[in-house]
Structure formats: structure tokens, C-alpha cells
Chain A
Amino acid sequence: MKPGRAATFGKSAAQFLAGCVRPTATAKPRSEHDGDDLLETVKQWQQVFEHTPVMYFMVDPAGTVINVNTFGAAQLGYAAAELIGRSVLDVFFEEDRDLVRACVTLCLETVDQSHTWEIRKIRKDGSVLWVRENAKTMLRADGGPIVLIACENITERKEAENALRQSEAYLAQAQELSHTGSFGWKAATREITWSKETYRIFQCDEGTKPKIPFMLQRIHPDDRLAVQQTTARAAREGKDYDHEYRLVMPDGSIKYVRAVARAMRDSNGCVEFVGSVTDITATKEAERRLRASEQRFRDYAETASDWFWETGPDHRVTQISEHSDTMTAPAGMIGLTRWDIAPDADLEPEKWQQHRAALDAHVPFRDLVYRSKDRSGQPIYVRTSGKPFFDTEGAFLGYRGVCTDVTAAIRANQAEDALRKAQAELAHVTRVTTLGELTASIAHEINQPLAAVIANADACLAWLQRSPPDLQAAGRSVEWIIEDGTRASDVIRRVRALAKRSDIDMAPLDANVVVRESVALVQREMASHAVSVRMELSSALPKIFGDRIQLQQVLINLIMNGIEAMEDVHDRPRELAIRSAASGDGAVLVSVSDCGVGISEQAIDRLFTPFFTTKSTGMGMGLSICRSIIEAHGGRLFAAPNREHGATFQITLPLHREETS
């Protein structure tokens, strides 16, 4: 408090005290007039006291309110009479009361000295009134001290202060949250001010004054020059600037920041900047990740040699992805429908009808294969899948999907078909060759029933020529003739089936029947080589799926091999064992075991390779074709030496599955 004001206040207070408390005690009445005048003066002062827009309290050393002016009481929501006589502490907050006592005590100890402080008061309605109190102890005429307190309402200022503080706190918090600091830079004086967050971004102690050399030292060496140039030019031209640069933190980590500044002129016309600096490391990292992810998907898409398309609600192509491999992705298709493009649209109307129905129903479609042309006009096969897309209202906008050039795969399929055909051809040739080797046996198989037919026919005649003719015996002979004739024709049928050049006819088969039919054809071959056959066929065999003739060919081949392998066996019975069984894992096993010379270790590896043979006459195709036949059936054929004598050839064939038929 300024001494001048205190003096003024003191004087007027003294006058007021002299007037209202003990008007007669201190005033020296000079005359009646004087007395009237004085009274008038006191009244006037009292009016002033009561209504001056300052709160006045008069408190005794115990803290009891001796007087309060009307204005002051009204400010607190009281009538003056309500406060007088009460402890002044009543208008203070509980927690502030010690301070109030201390201040009053201080005032009492230092008479005539002014003290000032800011404190809250409670209004009658409980609200807060901030006041700046100016207090001074005075001695009354009787020598007793009273404390005079003038209170200035500073609530508005306090609130503004609070609001400012709050707003500053908000700002600091917002800066912290957004990793954005603010700065001011007076280019002429090189004076820089930083917000708290800017300090944090630069990892600089808030106590230090920001300096340009420090900033430059923080900036990544590669970015320093650019930063200097940008800011220098902005300062020179008084222009805004916006740039990004990197900071190298004390721990070596890199921080990306973006600084944006607006140029202004101060009252002297000097350029100064106000700006923000944002830590964009996280954004940069996210951006880098996004870019990497984008690149990854682009790489996938491009190396997949697929291309992406989009069609509109009318199913016309609206977009086709750019592609590094531009040869395959067709060009000039925008505005066309898929069936405009495909040259096979007329050839396969059903396929396209179905496709168009799917499109009109707005359902996804998968793996539609059609013919198209690449950019150079070469015919290609395309496989495409797509799904419809809709706007937020659910209205159909078109389809998006992906196309793949499947020409190579389709060509490979065609090549595989050709290969399969060639294999069947070769199988047929070797089958005929095998039949050639079997000629003697087959001739015998046919000759045998024919011989029986003739013998029975001769016998029949003889029975008839007897007297009397033995008709019963003759009839029996004719029955046998029929039987034997049928048998001969069966053999011929079987041989013809083997010799026939027929397409592969895959059907559910009983492996045992195939075994028996094969054995029937080589029965004689076995007999003439003194080979006996032992059949161990499992009775409950599930059906396999295969070509009867080709499987017979394999078995005949294996049996013939077995017979040959036992050619030089004289010290033990030449026995060929043929077994069939269901294996646990959904397959049927058929094996042919001989007790012949066996297979050497070297031979076993090459057994199934074409043109490998241990025979002087063989072509070496037999086993190789057997294996390719079995593998074409989805099975396996392998050989293993037996423990004692000979070898076993084992065929594994997959079971027939109903749903695949």
C-alpha cells in the first residue's frame, strides 16, 4: 500500500471515528454553530462511510466486529446489524481463519502500520468473495486499539486470473496431448520463447533460455542446412514457413518434427514469428508402416500376375488395375461387359447364362474361367472371382474382383491329357506284346475246350451209333459241348478285351475279380512252368476304382515276371502267392510273391525305369508301364525282396468313393 493513500485513509477514518463513535469526546466544540456544522459534517462523512464502494470493517482486538459499513455488509449479503458484535472470523473460510488471526495479531503488534493481503470471504449465501484487505491498528481516544480494515473486491480479477491459469493449463495439456509446442521468435533480437511442450519436444530443461545454437545442435546434421535456409529466408522476407526436420535426441533416437510459423510485424516493424512445433514421429512411423503395407500388397498383387477390376451397376468394366506385367492384363476393356470380351460366350451359352444370373442376383462368384486376349492379342484363359459392393444405403454399385491368367495351367492340363493318352497307348502296345508272349498259353486255353468239344462230339456220335442208341449219354455229351464251347468263347472274349485299344474306363471294381480273371489267362503259363498259384484273397474287400483291363495287364505282367523268376528253381516248389487285403488307410493291397531268384539291390532301384530289363528278350517296358498305370489310378506299385526267396510286388489302390463316381 502506498503511504499516501494510507494517510488519506487514516485521516478520513479518524474523522469518521471522531464523528460516529464518540462525537463529543474528541471534537472540540467551538460554538453552537460550530457544533451544528460539525454534526452536519459527521453526518456527511457517515453517509460517505456507509455508501463508499469499499468494504470497511472495524474490529476489536478479540476479533469482534465493532462496525461495518452498509456497502461492505451488503457485499457479503448481510445487513450491517447482522455482523456487528459477531466474530469477524465468521465471514472467513474455516481453513483461512488461522491466517486471519495471524494478520490481526500482526496488525495489533504494529500499530499505525498498514498491512495488506488477499483473502476469500464467505457471503451469507455461501459464495466466495475475494478481497484485498488493507488493515491498520489504531489507538482510540481511550488508548484501546482497534483494527480498521478496508476490503477491496478483487473477485473479478481473481476469476480472470483463475480463468487464465486454467486456460494456460488447458493449453499446456492440449500441447502435451497433441505433441505440439508453441514458440515465438523475434528475428531481429534472436529472442526465442518456448512453451512447456516445446521444451519437452527438444528435451531441454525448462529453466534454460532457448538458443539457436542449441536448436541447431539438436537438429539432425543432414537437416541443419535446410532448416537454416528456410528460417533465414522467412526472416528475410517476413514470410510464413512450414517445414519438417529431424531431431537427434541425447539417447541417439530420431524425432521427426514439423514446425509451422506465421510471420508478424511488431510495433517497430520488426519481423517476429509465432508458430507451433509438432512431434510427428508417431505419424511418420504410421505413415512408414502404411507405406510398407501398401508396398507389400502391391508386391503381392503384382507378383501374383493377377489384375483387379471393377464393374459398374450395368456390369461394364469401369476400372482395371495398373500392372507391372502389362502383357497379360487385357487392355481396352473399359466399358465392356465380360461376355463382350469372351470369344467363348456363344459357344457356352449355359455358362454365361448362369454367370449373368449370379451377377443380376448380386451374389459373389468364384473361379469363372473364360477365354480372352492379352494386350498383344494372344488368346489367353482367364479365371476370375468377384464380389458385389454397395453404398452405405445398400444400393448396388457393381462388382470388384480379381483376374488371373490361367493359360499355363490349362495348357498344362491339356498336355497332361495328351500324356495320359500316350500312356494309355503305350499300355495298349505293351499289353498286346504281353499277349504275344502269351500266345502259346492262350492258344492252349482255346484249344483245350475245342479239343473237348470235338471229343464230346465224337463220343456223342458213338453213343448214337450204338444199338440201341444211348440217347442219354448223347444228350449229356451235347451239354458238355455247349459248356466247353462257351468256355472257349470266354477266353477269346477276355483276350480280345485285353487286345482292344479302348479308352480308359474307370469303374468300381472288385479287386478279387480282377485277380481271378488275370490268373485265368495265365493259368496255362503257370502250369507249363510247373508253377502253382496260391490265392489268399480277402473275402470282405471294399471296391476299388479303376480300369479293369489296365489292372489285369498289371497283374498278368507281375505274374509272368514271377513265373520267369522261378524258371531256374528246382530245389523247392515253384509257388506264386497272390494276396489281396484291405489296408487300414482306405486302400486295397494286392501282392504277387514268387520264390524265385529275387531282385538284387542294384536292380531294385531301377526296376521300374523304362528299358531296364534283366531278360535277354524283354523290352524293359513292362514294369515301368505297370507303375505308370497304377500311379494313374492314384495307387503305388513297389517291389521288395522276400526274406527267404524271391520278391514281392505290391500294389496299393485307393478305394472307390461314392461321391467321386
Chain B
Amino acid sequence: MTQLGEPPPPQEDDGDQPIVFVVDDDASMRRALTNLFESVGLKVEAFGSAPQLLHAKPPEVPSCLVLDIRLPGASGLDLQSDLAKANIHTPIIFITGYGDIPMTVRAMKSGAIDFLTKPVRDQDILDAVQAAIERDRKRRDFNRTVSTVRSRFESLSSRERDVLSLVTAGLMNKQVAAQLGLAEITVKIYRGQIMRKMGAKSLADLVRMSEALGIGSNKPDAQT
């Protein structure tokens, strides 16, 4: 994902240090993973079961989940779907004692970042964790950008929104004017106002923004 207009300044201060969530019912495994992540300077929060994690406050910093796929009670896969239902999109790295192809397939389909078998090579898991945190950071950045664009979009009048959707759909000013029954000059004025209100520097910026908002496409309500 590339630059989205003017993104809000990144807030990677000390309070924004990424967190690795470890969920493993095995205390020594939990302890070892925590130790490993801490040894490379990552902040770790460890849980013994899925419900414990679900009861914890959702993270506000880039983070990832390291899950044992065979958790007691609800399995790692169940937790994955529970998190999705709760609209928590923290990337998940599954680790398991032994390979299980159907389970791997299911995990990957559900958007797991990685699937590692125990004992994991430290570099593999650290790489996977770094990648997951990076992805989460980007997702968070993107989400933050989208919400900025959305609030700008909401400041547009309904006529401006109409013009925006037609312009980003690739129509010439003249075509927009004809379609909306407006003078071409009027369309030009609206367009200027839209560019300003949305903070877009070019038409390409505007198109990207409307794509992020899901306007101009055939799925206006799409959020994903």
C-alpha cells in the first residue's frame, strides 16, 4: 500500500511500542516465547487461554498474536474466528506441536500470517512476528487515513459528492455537466472545492481516496 494523500503523522512514540500477544496453555511454552520475544526487545503479553485474551482490552498499538492452534476449550482456530467477529484484525501467527494439513489450510484461509511448527526456529518466528507487526502497523495507518478521508468526505455537500463520484469514475467535466444538468463551469468550481475539502493534490489522489471510501465502485457500502 502506497502513500495515501497526506497521512497523519505516524505516532510511533514509546507508548506506541508494538505488542506481541502470546496465547499458549502450556506455561513453560508461554514463558519461553515471552522470553524469546523480550530478548529481541519486543513487548509481550501472554495469556493461558483464548477467553483470557478476549477479555483483555483490544490493543491500540501495532501488535500480533502468537497462538497455539490446539488451545484447550476453544481451539486457536475458534479464537481466530471469534476475534474476526469482534472486528479485531490483529494478525495471527499459528504455532503448533505437529503439522496438521487441514488445520493449516483453514488457518491460512482465515488470514493467518504464518503457520509454524514447534519447535520453531527463532529466526522464523521473529521474522514472522516482525512481518505481522509491520502489516498491522500498515493496516492501522491505512485505517487511520481512511477515517480522515471519510470525515473530509462527510464535509462535502450532496452536489459535491455527486460530482466527486462522477469525476472519480473517469468522466470529463463536460460529461459530468451534461449528466447532472449543470454548466461545465459550475462543475469546474465544484471540482476545485472538492479538491480543497478532500486535501487532494491531483485527480489520482482523489481517485485513490474514493476507492478507499468505496465510492465510485459498484459496492458503495463496502468497508473491507
**Chain A interface residues (CB < 8 Å from chain B):** 440, 443-444, 447-456, 458-463, 466, 470, 473, 476-477, 480, 483-484, 487, 524, 526-528, 530, 532
Max chain B CB contacts within 10 Å: which of A450, A452, A453, A470?
Answer: A452
Question: A526 — nearest CB in chain B belongs to which residue?
Answer: B72
Contact B72 A527 (CB under 8 A): yes
Q: Is B35 positioned at the interface, with any CB of A under 8 Å from its CB?
A: yes
Q: Flag whether B171 is at the interface (Cβ < 8 A).
A: no
Beyond A466-B39, A530-B73, 7 extra complex contacts between A and B, CB < 8 Å: A451-B120, A454-B122, A455-B33, A459-B35, A484-B32, A528-B70, A532-B72
Number of interface residues of B (CB under 8 A): 24
B28 engages A487 (CB within 8 Å): yes
* Complex partner residue of B39 from A449, A451, A463, CB under 8 angstroms: A463
- Chain B residue numbers with a CB within 8 Å of A466 are 39
Whether A447 contacts B97 in the complex (CB less than 8 A), given A455-B119, A456-B32, A484-B28, comes out as yes
Q: Which residue of B lies closest to A443 (CB)?
A: B98
Q: Assess whether A456 is in contact with B72, with CB atoms less than 8 Å apart.
A: no
Q: How near does chain B come to A512, taking the closest CB pair, in angstroms?
A: 22
> In the complex, which residues of chain B have a beta carbon less than 8 angstroms from the beta carbon of A454?
32, 119-120, 122
Is A455 a contact of B70 with CB atoms below 8 Å?
no
Chain A proximity of B94: nearest CB distance (Å): 14
Give min CB distance, A442 to chain B, whole Å: 11
Chain B residues, Cβ within 8 Å of A449: 28
B26, B28, B39, B119, most chain A CB atoms within 10 A: B39
B75 within 8 A of A: yes
Query: B118: CB under 8 A from chain A?
Result: yes
Which B residues lie within 8 Å of A461 (CB)?
Answer: 39
List, in ascending order, chain A residues with CB within 8 A of B33's CB: 455
B47 → chain A, closest Cβ, in Å? 15
Tell me the smallest distance from the CB of A531 to a CB of chain B, in Å.
Answer: 8
State the main secondary structure of chain B at its contact with A: loop
Ordered nearest first, which 4 A-B pairs have the shortest CB separation?
Answer: A458-B122, A462-B39, A455-B32, A451-B118
Nearest-Cβ distance from residue A470 to partner chain B, whole angstroms:
8
Contacts A444-B97, A530-B72, A530-B73; is A452 near B32 (CB within 8 Å)? Answer: yes
Please tell me if the beta carbons of B39 and A459 are within 8 angstroms of each other in the complex: yes
* A residues near B25, Cβ cutoff 8 Å: 527
Which interface residue of A456, A458, A461, A470 has the most chain B CB atoms within 10 A?
A458
Residues of A within 8 A of B70 (CB): 444, 524, 527-528
> Does B6 lie at the interface of the complex (its beta carbon under 8 Å from any beta carbon of A)?
no
Q: List 9 A-B contacts (CB under 8 A).
A: A444-B97, A448-B118, A450-B118, A452-B32, A455-B33, A458-B122, A459-B38, A470-B39, A528-B70
Given contacts A440-B98, A527-B72, contact A447 B39 (CB under 8 A): no
Q: Which residue of B lies closest to A460 (CB)?
A: B39
- B144 CB within 8 Å of chain A: no
Does chain A have a CB within 8 A of B31? Answer: yes
B73 CB to nearest chain A CB (Å): 6
One of B32, B73, B118 near A447 (C-beta < 8 A)? B118
Q: How far is the CB of A468 from chain B (nearest CB, A)?
A: 14
Does the CB pair A450–B119 fall under 8 Å?
yes
Q: Mark B13-47, 1 if CB is under 8 A from A, else 0.
A: 00000000000011011011101101110000000
A530-B75 contact in complex given A447-B98, A455-B32, A473-B35, C-beta closer than 8 Å:
yes
Closest to A455 in B: B32
Q: Name the CB-closest residue of B to A528.
A: B70
A430 to B23, CA, bound (A): 36
